[in-house]
Amino acid sequence: MGAAAVRSKLSTRYNMKFPGTILLTGAGGMLGVRLLPHLKKAFKKSRIFSVFHGAGSQVFETTAVGDLTDKDFLEHVINASQPDLIINLAALTDVERCENEPELARRVNAGIPQALAAQAPDAKLIQLSSDYVFDGKSGSYIPDSLPAPLSVYGKTKLESESMTLQNSRNLVVRASGTFDWLTTGNLFSYFAARLDEKLKVRALSDSFYTPIWADDLARGIVGLLKQETAGLIHYAGPERMSRYYFALVIADEFGFDKTLIERANQKDFNWKARRPADSSLNSAEGYKQAKVTPHTLAEALAIMREQMEAPVSEIT
């Protein structure tokens, strides 16, 4: 029996001790950068095929670079990887850009998971989603809470959920406010870079969420995979807080000047996309299922700080 046949036999049993070939898209993004080493460590015998976003279209033995909204590229990726498990992190996460380019947002956020599922119908699909599927009127949402997205981003993430959950073996993981220092473009890297330069930051004190360190989310996803969890799960940070409080805790941990942090309200920003006022998630069931609990913000920042000071080779 060849390797592909063995993989296919095992995949029909969804044996997460050895999920055959894992296809990871969005591998160069904030979560992908953290998830890849955890997958390698947890599933040593699996083949991991990573897809990065970039110009042109190149497909190698275990890596591909290209645009997954390009039908031909996506087909090449599926043919080259023959996945048993797909973890789709490819997304347009810039909420304002989604609002300004709704068709692109839909093509990326809903179209890519739909095409992946269509091209690899036998693979289990893990789709990442967001707290922005809620309108933020109540907060502390559980998976059964009724979604009511306010923005194009939230709507397209909700579409990706419905499509993924059409197959009961698939898994949707909703997260909230992911942050890290390894990648830019998130609230931690923005606040820390400015405060380090002794520049003022405006931080929302009227909007609440449950931020999670990307590495904790990666560990949680691996835990959910190992437990073979399916359906809809929340896996966000353990503490509900405002973005203003988030900035204050960063200042505490890194010794930045707190007087540089100014309270702001959503109306102070000229945003086109509406944001939920309280999109905090209750992830108790997610932690239980994954058998992994994320760090508190202060704990995560302390580890991040050690990593930032350590040689690159010691980070993962």
Ligand X SMILES: NC(=O)c1ccc[n+]([C@@H]2O[C@H](COP(=O)([O-])OP(=O)(O)OC[C@H]3O[C@@H](n4cnc5c(N)ncnc54)[C@H](OP(=O)(O)O)[C@@H]3O)[C@@H](O)[C@H]2O)c1
Q: Does 111 bind ligand X (CB under 6 A)?
A: no
Q: Does 130 bind ligand X (CB under 6 A)?
A: yes
Length of the chain equals 316
User: The tokens 């405006």 sit on which residue?
Assistant: 202
- Residue 20 φ/ψ, nearest 5 degrees: 60, -120
**202-231 mask for ligand X (x: CB under 6 A)?**
------------------------------
**147-166 mask for ligand X (x: CB under 6 A)?**
----------x---------
Taking CB atoms, the residue at the shortest distance from ligand X is: 29
Query: Which of residues 11 and 164 has its CB atom nearest to ligand X in the complex?
Result: 164
CB 213 → ligand X: shortest distance, Å?
A: 11
Residue selected from 28, 106, 145, 194 as contacting ligand X according to rule CB under 6 A? 28
Residue selected from 19, 20, 32, 286 as contacting ligand X according to rule CB under 6 A? 32
User: The tokens 């080779």 sit on which residue?
Assistant: 313
Residue selected from 22, 23, 24, 31 as contacting ligand X according to rule CB under 6 A? 31
Stretch binding ligand X (CB under 6 A), from 144-152, 162-170, 172-180, 268-276 = 172-180
| Residue 196: burial class (beta carbons within 10 Å; 0-12, 13-18, 19+) | exposed
Q: Does 176 bind ligand X (CB under 6 A)?
A: yes
Q: Does 280 bind ligand X (CB under 6 A)?
A: no
Q: Does 143 bind ligand X (CB under 6 A)?
A: no
Spatial CA neighbour of 87 closest among 188, 285, 225? 225
Q: Name residue 194's amino acid.
A: R
Stretch binding ligand X (CB under 6 A), from 29-37, 136-144, 200-208, 302-310 = 29-37
What is the size of the binding site for ligand X (CB under 6 A)? Answer: 24
Query: Which of residues 10 and 85 has its CB atom nearest to ligand X in the complex?
Result: 85
79-to-21, 60, 66, 75, 83 alpha-carbon distances in Å? 12, 11, 15, 6, 9
Residues 26 and 91: beta-carbon distance below 8 Å: yes
Query: Which of residues 10 and 213 has its CB atom nearest to ligand X in the complex?
Result: 213
**Could you say which residues in the range 44-83 bind ligand X, by CB under 6 A?**
53, 67-69
**Positions in the binding site for ligand X (CB under 6 A):** 26, 28-32, 53, 67-69, 89-93, 108, 128, 130, 157, 175-178, 183
